[in-house]
Structure formats: C-alpha cells, structure tokens
Copies of this chain bind each other. A is one copy, B any other.
Amino acid sequence: MVRVVILGQGYVASVFASGLEKIKAGKLEPYGVPLGDELPIKIRDIEIVGSYDVDASKVGKDLHEIVKTYDPEAPESLRGITVRKGIHLGSLRNLPIKATGLEDEMTLEEAVDHLVEEWKDLKAEVFVNVCTTEAFRPFESREELEKAIAGDDRERLTATQVYAYAIARYARETGGAALVNAIPTLIANDPAFVELARESNMVIFGDDGATGATPLTADVLSHLAQRNRYVLDIAQFNIGGNNDFLALTDRERNRSKEFTKSSVVKDLLGYDAPHYIKPTGFLEPLGDRKFIAMHIEYVSFNGARDEVVITGRINDSPALAGLLVDLTRLGKMALERKAFGTVYEVNAFYMKNPGPKDARNIPRIIAHEKVRSWAGLKPRWL
C-alpha cells in the first residue's frame, strides 16, 4: 500500500484521483502512466488518504464532489475523504479565488504542528504537491529556512516551502515520508531542503513535473545534438485556459517558470542556443487542453539550413497526473530503500528541473532507461 496525501486539490490532483480509481476498478487502461504495472508496487496499491486545499469553496467538501467539477465521470469510490484546510501564503494572490488557510488562525510554527498531527492520524507516506505555481525564492541554507519558520516570516516563505518543512518534521518523527514536488518551486534543487531531507528520513522528488512541450523539446533537441546539427534558434509558445495559465499571467510566477525551463537547452546541446521558451498566455476557452507551437532552426551538413515546427493540442493535467501514478509508488520504494534526500535517477525522467542543484538534463529517452534500472526493471532498449 502507498498512502498518499494530496497538497492542492486542483485540476491535476483531481484527474489523478479520478483516473487512479478508474484504473483500480479495471475501467481504464493505465495509458499515460510510464511504468504502467511493471513496478513491484501495483497501481491498485495506491490509496489516497488525505487532501488539502486553500480555496474556501473546496475546504470541508467531499473529495468526490470536488473531483466531479473537473471530471464529470469521477468514480463514486472517491467519496468519504474530506478536503482539509492547508496553507496558502499568498499562492492565490491575483487569482479570482477566495483563499483560506491555517495561517489565518495560527502561526506557521503552529500550522506545521497541526499538519504533522493530522498526518500521523492519516498514516501518510507520500505527499504530492500540486499547488498553484508560486513566486518564490529558494533557501540555500537550512538555518535561513528554520529562522523563517520560527520567525513566522510570511513574506519569505511559500506554501510549498512550509509543506516541505512540515513533511520533514513528520518524517523525522514517524520514520519516513516522501514528497513529490510537481511544481516549479525549488525543493529538490534547494540544498537547504535536500540536506534537511537527508537528516529527516525524507525523500524528495522534484522539481516541476515534466509534462507539456518541454520534455518533447528535450528529446527533439537531443535528436539534433546526436546528429551534430547546429541549432540556431528555438521558439516555444504555449497557451492554455486552466488556472495554471491564469496564474502565470502574473509576471513574477512566470519568471520562476522561465528559469526552470531554459537550462535544458544548454544541457542537451552543449551550448546555449538562443531560445525563447515560456508560457505565453491565458485563453479561457482552451481549458485544460493547451495549444503549443515550437520552431527550431538548425544547420545541417554542408551549411544547409533546416526548419522544424511542432504544434499540438495537449491535455495539460492528465499528462502530469499520469506521472504521479508512478511517482507515488517510486516514492514508497525510495522510502523502503532509505534513499533519503533526493534521487536523480527518478527526477531526470519525471521532472523538468531535475534535482539536486547542478544536476543536468539528459535526453528523456535515456533517462527512462535509467529510472527503469533504478527501479529494478529490465531496460527496454539498452
């Protein structure tokens, strides 16, 4: 069994919950789950035991009711879990949503205690962080992090950072817990958190789930690099209509996303080809199915100039939700192996910004073989 707690019951978490239950009930193939049922821990072993949110209209509601607003075919088996109040710290700022959080009633230190107690009741093992993209600054030192918590410094901390801190404390007290950080806030790439994790029986996977256009760009760039084609420029647009895109119209948040996505170019090509890679805009009727467009220009043999354009309509949330079905199980496996800190082999395939800090991007196709190997599976093509 893998006992999962969700942090941020939005689109991704709801599609995760819905698809997971349908697969468990044998009503759906595990498409979009990279390792399907190859892992020793099976999909049917995943159990959602808790869910947190800070949208006032969600807190206190039944999980089934919330999931249904995202997927009308939400299975009945989701009934019986009540969405609990989490921490917002301004994560919904500028969004048309009324926020409510534990910190409205207590200090952050008290909120951490409160969460840890709840998690003990839930016997939580793996936490999945799919909060709204935040404007954040990494901590580089553990002292600074601990001072910010102790000092109730609400300007310095984001919800994700407080959750990660609380999970560390919970892991220390209970023997172990894993955090899958699927949003851009640096946790697996923040040395302060990785050090804290290592000393607290905590596993961190992160950062920023590798979905959308970026992993595809990565493999296309690897394809060009292996042929020694010289990339002149890369333009990548994407536009969508879900809350994540709405949040990114906020300049500060967008900047954190931009940072995440750009290092991939240099890592894969070996040089920093001029590029423009960022979420471009919000267009409500697109909903969760975003439009992407990518243009790559390169030099081939004898000075020839080629151009490739990739466009697509891609469902944003299911792409990430499918990865979470693997990541929760890999999180449990890492706990069993006591692989505390962070696990590059996992991050390299599943994350846009694979931790630890300074770890580089590799072609996803190769990263896939590496994670198979880490998980004890036979390579597929190597």
Interface positions of A (Cβ within 8 A of B): 15, 18-19, 22, 28-36, 71, 215-216, 219-220, 222-223, 226-230, 232-233, 235, 237, 239, 241, 274-276, 280-286, 289, 291, 293, 295, 297, 299-315, 318-319, 321-323, 325, 349, 362-366, 368-369, 380-382
Nearest CB of B to A10, in Å: 14
Nearest CB of B to A373, in Å: 10
**Candidate in A226, A282, A306 with the most chain B CB atoms within 10 angstroms:** A226
**A224, closest chain B residue (CB):** B216
B232 and A291 contacting across the interface, CB-CB below 8 Å: no
B226 and A216 contacting across the interface, CB-CB below 8 Å: no
A312 and B306 contacting across the interface, CB-CB below 8 Å: yes
Which of B36, B229, B309 has a CB less than 8 Å from the CB of A312? B309
Q: What is the copy number of this chain in the assembly?
A: 4
5 nearest A-B pairs in the assembled complex, by CB-CB distance: A32-B301, A301-B322, A19-B302, A293-B293, A304-B315
Nearest CB of B to A311, in Å: 5
- 19 pairs from A and B in contact (CB 8 Å cutoff): A22-B302, A29-B230, A29-B299, A31-B229, A31-B301, A31-B303, A32-B299, A33-B301, A34-B226, A219-B219, A219-B365, A220-B220, A223-B365, A226-B368, A227-B322, A235-B291, A237-B293, A274-B283, A295-B311
**A284, closest chain B residue (CB):** B274
**Candidate in A22, A285, A301, A363 with the most chain B CB atoms within 10 angstroms:** A301
**A234, closest chain B residue (CB):** B283
Q: Hey, which chain B residues are within 8 Å of A319, CB to CB?
A: 227, 300-301, 304, 306
Q: Hey, which chain B residues are within 8 Å of A215, CB to CB?
A: 223
**A38, closest chain B residue (CB):** B228
